[in-house]
A and B are shown apart, each in its own frame.
Chain A
Amino acid sequence: MNVQVTDWPDRLFATLKRAGIRQVGYVPDAGHARLIERCRADSQIRDVVLTTEEEGVALAAGAWLGGERAALLMQSSGLGNCVNMLSLARICRFPLLMLITMRGEWEEFNPWQVPMGSIVDPVLKLCEAEVYRASTPDEVEGAAERAVQDVFGDERIGAVILSQQLIGRKVWTK
């Protein structure tokens, strides 16, 4: 399968729809802009803009208590904001589907993104999250499908890591 470079957010959206996701929490993020737009336009999905990513961990727990599936969109820096709240998902085995766009790993102009970006994988591992990495557009849908199966089938934490190569360079001069 040859996915167009810019199609992967639509593929992700289709995966969320097939998975029956009803609540999507997010902090606005350029890498997720298209996916956020699709979620906001869908009448079956409640889009919940958050002030900080950890709110989304608690939101997803509440959704599952009430019988709904949620997803949490963030960029890599947001993972750091979630660490203690992930205890909630771990101790109660709440399913938690995180879609994380990477910063600080490839062609990064802003060095302030590197400290958190460089520890995403070990932090996820320490928090008992399964990691599904997609480095090319072709890999996105498969990674997300596997994450959905594991997260909701086995009530666990799964993080789809969307590499910075997928997102492209951020333009710093206007």
Chain B
Amino acid sequence: MDQMTQERLERRAAMAILLADRGDDLLVVPGLGSTTWDLAALGDDDLNFYLWGAMGGAAMIGLGLALAQPDKRVAVITGDGEMLMGMGALATIGIQRPGNLAIVVFDNGVYGETGMQPSHTQSGVDLGSVAAACGFATCLEVRDEAGLRDLAGCLNTLRETLFARVLIAAEEPPRVLPERDGIALKDRFRAAIGVKP
């Protein structure tokens, strides 16, 4: 669509702006693939729960976490393909509506990990409209750096369930691979937020 031909945000720079002032009470769950590499590229953090699989599950992990930790903020930052696979989660979250949960979709319209095949969003499926129809209190569409800074502000003062679609370019920056031992990732995350072993 016409949006695809417009200049789009660089994904690594977008992640950096969103998390520049993340503080110590923002828990981040990226989707498998590119958003996990983007998050790792910012530097490691025990409060990142990287996914190397579980496609379609990022938003629901975020929901369980947000319900369990109402005093912390949870940001799921995933790709359009990962969100499409778990689109029903938007309906599930839309009726739970925890105020401390944000679902951010980096939408480049392609499946980057598998060879840049087009995703449904490239042909007009609008995940922001889906989220709005599912009852998300706030739905943002982010097209430029100013929008990213607004979204970063929203993440830092999160009070109602938020969905944001961030239009990013279809590019493949060098992979930055984080820890891939799932047990280690789980244990360090729980230790960092003070959950007993």
Question: Is A23 in contact with B54, judged by CB distance below 8 angstroms?
Answer: no
Whether A52 sits at the interface, judged by CB under 8 Å, is: yes
Q: A85-B57, A87-B53, A91-B182 are in contact. Are A55 and B65 (CB under 8 A)?
A: no
Q: A120 to nearest B CB, angstroms?
A: 22
Complex interface: chain B residues within 8 A of A57 (CB): 57
B42-65 interface (Cβ within 8 A of A)? 49, 53-65
Question: Is A23 in contact with B88, judged by CB distance below 8 angstroms?
Answer: no
Complex interface: chain B residues within 8 A of A23 (CB): 64, 67-68
Complex interface: chain A residues within 8 A of B196 (CB): 67
Q: A26 to nearest B CB, angstroms?
A: 11
Whether A92 sits at the interface, judged by CB under 8 Å, is: yes
Complex interface: chain A residues within 8 A of B185 (CB): 92
Q: How many residues of A contact B (CB 8 A)?
A: 32
Whether A54 sits at the interface, judged by CB under 8 Å, is: yes
Question: Is A52 in contact with B63, judged by CB distance below 8 angstroms?
Answer: no
Q: How many residues of B contact A (CB 8 A)?
A: 36
Question: Is A55 in contact with B190, judged by CB distance below 8 angstroms?
Answer: no
Our pick among B54, B89, B96 for the contact of A88 (Cβ within 8 Å) is: B54
Whether B116 sits at the interface, judged by CB under 8 Å, is: no
Using a CB–CB cutoff of 8 Å, the interface residues on chain B facing chain A are 27, 29, 49, 53-69, 86, 88-89, 91-92, 95-96, 182-183, 185-186, 189-190, 193, 195-196
Using a CB–CB cutoff of 8 Å, the interface residues on chain A facing chain B are 22-23, 46, 48-52, 54-68, 70, 84-85, 87-88, 91-94
Q: Which 9 A-B pairs have the closest CB atoms?
A: A62-B64, A66-B68, A51-B88, A92-B182, A58-B57, A58-B60, A67-B195, A68-B68, A63-B64
